Amino acid sequence: MSDELKPALSLPEAPPLPPRSPRGRLSGALIFLALGAILFLQYRVLVRPAAAPAEAPAAITDWREHALKLSQRNLHSAAARAWQRHLETLPASDREGRGKILYQLAGELMLAGDYQEAVSSFWQAERLLGFSSDLAPKIAAQIDECLERLGKFDERDREMRERAVGGAVADAADEIAAEIGLEKISMHELERRIARDLELQLSWQYALPPEQEKEIRKQLAAQYEDPSKKLQRLYELVAQQLLYRRGRELEIDKAPELQELLGRTKAQLVAAAVVARELKDKIKPSAMDLGAYFSANREKFQTPPRATARIVRLASREAAEKLIAGAPAEEALAAAAVKDGKDASFVAERITPQDPIPGIGPAPALSKAIFAAKGPGLLPAPVEAGGGFFVVFVRALEPPATPELEAVKGQVLNAYYQDKQRELEQTLVKELFAKYGAIVHDDVVLRKKTPGGGKPAAGEKPPGEREAQ
């Protein structure tokens, strides 16, 4: 192959660079300065202090007041947290103050349904305050309630026993009257519950005069002097507790219908308690008050009329009329009523118009005929009553009588209290109508309209806006 035909395998040489002009060196310097400026600005951005945050809302300083406000709004979980913050502000040396705050905190947790945390806080409060504090009985009751709500009955029973020992109130020699699992009901506890039941019957439901309240309390307590009555009450307590536990297991206590019923029952009891508390110290009659009341209400204390009569029952009117015609005197009537050696008549002694007739029962027509008699003697016609015909000889009639005040002082005092309580209760309700802005729309309930279908006359109160009666 000739040299002309051989391929050229070498690379061509690059042409030489032209000499750098002063203008090119200036452009490179400017680029370097620009890069330096950019790096400096990035550095300033990275190391500059953070911008000041927006102004925060004012911090809460009175956590106690905040907790009370939350509780009043039924925000119990938040209230519990607020009590915890307040607790943190108290020094550890303030045992009583911290104990009372823990008690408040536990109560809010309980209302919020957090029973486990409530028990924990109650225990802490109990340790700080001790068994002899005024809050100790309330703490014990609340712990029992929480454990019941959790369905932990054995734990509740164990808690009761341990607290009894810690409080030094247990009596090892006391006889056990009943047992429910680990729970034991001693004779002392049974008698305590009976006494407490009697106290509750009187303390909140009635505004009675002190003498009468004492007497009624004595009568109620006397019925349990019979051991069989105590045993009956014990069976009731045990049965009630067993049914209550079963209801907890089935969560019947959470049923809406039961909650509604409990709410209504609570309202009724609270209303009765309000009346008793408001009026208990307002009714203090003097001897002059009782005397004036007795004089104005003598008919209330009259002894009713009484009658004694011999009565014969016959099957027909004809037989009764024949007996009346042939036996005008009582002796003759009694003799004529003897059949087969037995006296078919009977004597009703000192009955009142409302009393049932001995051997007959309530017989209004017969009682009316007896007391309508003008005096002792044989009634001129038979009395039809109770499917029979009666021949009656009135032996004696006693008119109503008004006793002296001293003879019926107890009745007068009781009647005075009842009337005065009714009067003061109406006044109290009327005041509460005004205080709480209550209105009863009678016209809506009675379906009545204002005469003419228009508005009430000037000065006339609308029929639907009545005050308490």
* pLDDT band (50, 70, 90) for residue 463: very low
- Let me know the angle formed at the C-alpha of 413 by 408 and 414, rounded to the nearest 5 degrees: 100
For residues 252 and 258, the answer to whether their CB atoms sit within 8 Å is: yes
- pLDDT for the residue numbered 172: 42
Strand partners, 176: 186
Q: What is the mean pLDDT of residues 437-466?
A: 66
d(CA 412, CA 293): 8
For residues 320 and 344, the answer to whether their CB atoms sit within 8 Å is: no
Residue 307 CB neighbours (<10 A): 22
* pLDDT band (50, 70, 90) for residue 115: confident
> What does the radius of gyration of the chain's CA atoms come to, in whole angstroms?
47
Distance of CA 232 to the CA centre of its chain: 25
- pLDDT for the residue numbered 341: 66
Give me the phi and psi of 285, to 5 degrees please.
-70, 140
d(CA 272, CA 263): 14
d(CA 377, CA 375): 6
Residue 108 CB neighbours (<10 A): 25
Least reliable range by pLDDT among 97-111, 153-167, 255-269, 330-344: 153-167
Q: Is the pLDDT of residue 262 over 50?
A: yes
The CATH homologous superfamily to which domain 63-169 belongs is Tetratricopeptide repeat domain (1.25.40.10)
Q: Is the pLDDT of residue 352 over 80?
A: yes
d(CA 373, CA 356): 18
The predicted-structure confidence for 263-276, as pLDDT tens digits, reads as follows: 888 888 888 878 87
CA atoms within 13 Å, Cβ hemisphere of 342:
2
The predicted-structure confidence for 141-191, as pLDDT tens digits, reads as follows: 888 888 877 767 666 666 665 655 554 444 444 688 898 887 788 888 788
Q: What is the mean pLDDT of residues 102-123?
A: 89
* pLDDT band (50, 70, 90) for residue 106: very high
d(CA 421, CA 464): 27
- pLDDT for the residue numbered 78: 92
- pLDDT for the residue numbered 259: 86
d(CA 197, CA 180): 21
The predicted-structure confidence for 301-337, as pLDDT tens digits, reads as follows: 888 898 998 888 888 888 888 888 887 788 777 777 7
The predicted-structure confidence for 184-236, as pLDDT tens digits, reads as follows: 888 887 887 888 787 777 665 555 666 666 777 777 778 888 888 889 989 99
The residue with greater pLDDT, 204 or 259, is 259
The predicted-structure confidence for 277-310, as pLDDT tens digits, reads as follows: 777 778 878 888 888 999 899 888 888 898 998 8
The dihedral formed by the CA atoms of 371, 372, 377 and 383, expressed in degrees to the nearest 10: -90
For residues 68 and 104, the answer to whether their CB atoms sit within 8 Å is: no
- pLDDT for the residue numbered 231: 92
| Coil, helix or strand at residue 260 | helix
| Conformation bin of residue 399: beta by default, left when phi > 0, alpha when psi is -120 to 50 | beta
Nearest alpha-carbon partner for 333 in 411, 410, 292, 392? 392
d(CA 26, CA 49): 37
Q: Is the pLDDT of residue 52 over 60?
A: no
- pLDDT for the residue numbered 169: 43
What tokens does 343 get?
Answer: 């006296």
d(CA 284, CA 417): 9
- pLDDT for the residue numbered 353: 86
d(CA 451, CA 449): 6
> CATH code for 303-398?
3.10.50.40
In terms of Cβ atoms closer than 10 Å to its own Cβ (0-12, 13-18, 19+), residue 105 is buried
Sign (positive or negative) of CA dihedral 430, 435, 438, 439: positive
Domain ranges (residues) in the chain: 63-169, 185-281, 286-300+404-438, 303-398, 442-469
Looking at residue 446, the DSSP 8-state letter turns out to be H
- pLDDT for the residue numbered 45: 46
Distance of CA 31 to the CA centre of its chain: 89
d(CA 310, CA 5): 172
- pLDDT for the residue numbered 461: 53
For residues 153 and 183, the answer to whether their CB atoms sit within 8 Å is: yes
**Domain 63-169 matches domain 303-398 at the CATH topology level:** no
Looking at residue 389, the DSSP 8-state letter turns out to be E
Give the mean pLDDT of the chain. Answer: 77
Least reliable range by pLDDT among 106-110, 202-206, 225-229, 402-406: 202-206
Longest Cα–Cα distance of the chain, Å, equals 187
The predicted-structure confidence for 65-78, as pLDDT tens digits, reads as follows: 888 888 888 898 99
- pLDDT for the residue numbered 167: 46
The dihedral formed by the CA atoms of 59, 61, 64 and 68, expressed in degrees to the nearest 10: -40
Distance of CA 224 to the CA centre of its chain: 26
* pLDDT band (50, 70, 90) for residue 385: confident
The residue with greater pLDDT, 210 or 405, is 405
d(CA 278, CA 469): 19
Q: What is the mean pLDDT of residues 449-468?
A: 52
* pLDDT band (50, 70, 90) for residue 51: very low
Nearest alpha-carbon partner for 202 in 222, 179, 219? 219
What percent of the chain lies above the pLDDT cut of 70? Answer: 74
